[in-house]
Amino acid sequence: MATAADGALSPVTAIALVGALGVGSQWLAWRLRMPAIVLMLAAGILIGPVLGVFDPIRDIGPLTGPMISIAVAIILFEGGLTLNFHDLRDAVVGVKRLVIVGAPLGWLTSTLALKYGAGLSWESATVFGGIMIVTGPTVIAPLLRTARLARRPAALLQWEAIVNDPIGALAAVLAFSVVSVLMVEGVTPGGATAELVIGIAFASIVGWAAGKGIAYAFRNALVPEYMKVPVLFTVLLATFAVSDYLLHESGLLAVTIMGVVIANANLPSYVELLRFKEHATVLLVSGVFILLAANLDFAALGALNLWQAVFFVVLVVLVARPLTVFVSLIGSGIPLKEQALVAFTGPRGVVLIAVAGLFGERLVELGLEDAALIGPLAFVLVAVTVVVHGFTLSPFARFLGLTGSSTPGVILIGGSKFTTGLAEALQKAEIPVLMTDPNFGHLRGARTAGVPTFSGDILSEAAEHRLEFINYGTLVCATDNDAYNTLVATDLAPEYGRENVFQITREKSDSARHQLPATLGGRKFGPELGYQALEDLVWKGWTFRLTPLSEEFGFADWRAAHPGSHLLGMLSEKGTIRFVDAGAEVKAEPGAQVLALRPPEGHEQPPADAKS
């Protein structure tokens, strides 16, 4: 491993290590079905304070602080990009309450918890209490990704975290300005207030103007497609820098407003921009958590009174947060179960640690010695809430009935005899099924059979707001339109994972110029048969059958007993379905069931005209 002097890592090696550990932790968490933040914190602490392999200040130097600030700004901007007002719908009242009522109330309750729980002075408690308004989109996003919450509580948690992040930073600025007036000679209350108001107004104007400018340039083709992301990044950094120069931390507000403006501008390339920013955010969240955890000072943690720290965390998690949410949502019409889930879910993240460390140092410089405890208290709060909520959110949501089905369901795109028969077979196996088709008449057979249906385009805004997509984990595109199948599979593959999106075999065209690119679309579903061939088989009496496997009757035995059947998938012993494509190697354990399209009795060989 390349190192610099005195055993330090070279900056390039250090940054590569941070990236590898961050992304590696997220991948391992995905494999182990664990909260990613927990593994990232553990990895950072292990290579930092425990083993001493990596020290951000030593190995990266003075760029560590600016790197974290820029990363947090980009993370908040990406959060703003998700704030499309059309997505709020039934959560808009709750979000407004959590921001307008919850932010000031959270500031008050957090300040009281710090004063009487952690024993801080009023000055330090007021500044840190403002920062504690934030609940951390960097933590909420990974938790929501794995918890599969119902749409409204997920929206409440996500929007509150994103909007309150810059508000919390600005609350800390306001409190710090007041403390500065009280402790530093030559600063007048009027001057400090004017500076704050001007800074907030300027940050809002800069963010709004930057967002409008980007929207205008992109909509009117003033920027070529290949330069949109670089231009967006450059304007983002400029917006953050200019606003932050006038009032420190106001840049967070500016970039968040910029993201919200772009999100609601209805840009044609918005989805592509959002996906790229999501990918960038995964990298940045990973890196920032590793950096902050590796920079932890155990000596500073040792200065904390253990029982006071425990009492402080208990007050925040079990008193301050629930009180803030329940009071804010009085009369909102949101069910009590959803209020309870939001009330007892308040993990803190990157912004809290970064901003708390900054203002803790500034307060110490003003002569407040107890402010040295702000950084360690912030880290303890983040570590505890991340671990607690990371492991309890999913079970608690399931207990309240606010998650998707325990068994991931299947969405069948296209109404036909084939998809109706497949849906009935899946329902008999107790797998949730939804059938969609833009043509209402195509769903008549499914409705008669009792299959849940949605008449409309699966890619439409109506589908996004009316369907609980978290209940489904697999998509099968099986309409009579190959181009539409390919469009749906390509568009939804990033949401479901390409390994979970299937498409029936496309009809072969006599002309190569009419063929759709093989790189588009989903995985091949079942037999090498197109739409009409599959329909013909069902009309001729072929049926969908589930056959259990055992130690005595394995998959090879099933193959030998049913040589003419078309294998479609395997149902695991836990009740989850895994579709297979033609020619795929199948691993089947005893207890699993084989899902196949079987010919009528006495017709084990498929008819010649059914072969593609």
State pLDDT tens for residues 357-384: 777 877 888 888 888 888 888 888 988 8
pLDDT > 70 fraction of the chain, expressed in percent and rounded: 84
Worst-scoring range by mean pLDDT, 293-302, 388-397, 441-450? 293-302
What pLDDT score does 608 carry? 42
In the predicted structure, residue 208 carries a pLDDT above the cut 90: yes
**Which H, E and C letters describe 148-205, residue by residue?**
CECHHHHHHHHHHHHHHHHHHHHHHHHHHHHHHHHHCCCCCHHHHHHHHHHHHHHHHH
Per-residue pLDDT tens digits for 266-319: 887 666 666 666 677 677 777 877 887 887 777 766 777 788 888 999 999 999
What pLDDT score does 326 carry? 93
What pLDDT score does 314 carry? 92
Cβ atoms 26, 286 nearer than 8 A: yes
pLDDT, the chain, mean: 81
The average pLDDT across 17-21 equals 89
CATH 3.40.50.720 for domain 409-610, yes or no, is: yes
What pLDDT score does 518 carry? 63
0.75 exceeded by pTM: no
> Which fold does the domain 65-400 belong to in CATH?
Na+/H+ antiporter like fold (1.20.1530)
What pLDDT score does 465 carry? 66
Worst-scoring range by mean pLDDT, 10-14, 86-90, 311-315, 330-334? 86-90
Q: Hey, do 65-400 and 409-610 end up sharing a CATH topology, with the first three levels equal?
A: no
Worst-scoring range by mean pLDDT, 112-121, 459-468, 527-536, 565-574? 459-468
pLDDT > 90 fraction of the chain, expressed in percent and rounded: 14
Of 52 and 180, the structure prediction assigns the larger pLDDT to 52
Report the DSSP pairing between strands 501-503 and 566-571: unpaired
In the predicted structure, residue 97 carries a pLDDT above the cut 60: yes
Provide the 8-state DSSP code for 603.
-
Of 545 and 514, the structure prediction assigns the larger pLDDT to 545
What are the sequence ranges of the domains in the chain?
65-400, 409-610
What pLDDT score does 476 carry? 92
The torsion angle over the Cα atoms of residues 271, 276, 277 and 282, rounded to 10 degrees, is 130
Per the rule left: phi > 0, alpha: psi between -120 and 50, beta: everything else, 354 is: alpha
In the predicted structure, residue 519 carries a pLDDT above the cut 70: no
Provide the 8-state DSSP code for 606.
P
In this structure, what token pair is assigned to residue 396?
């608690």
What pLDDT score does 611 carry? 40
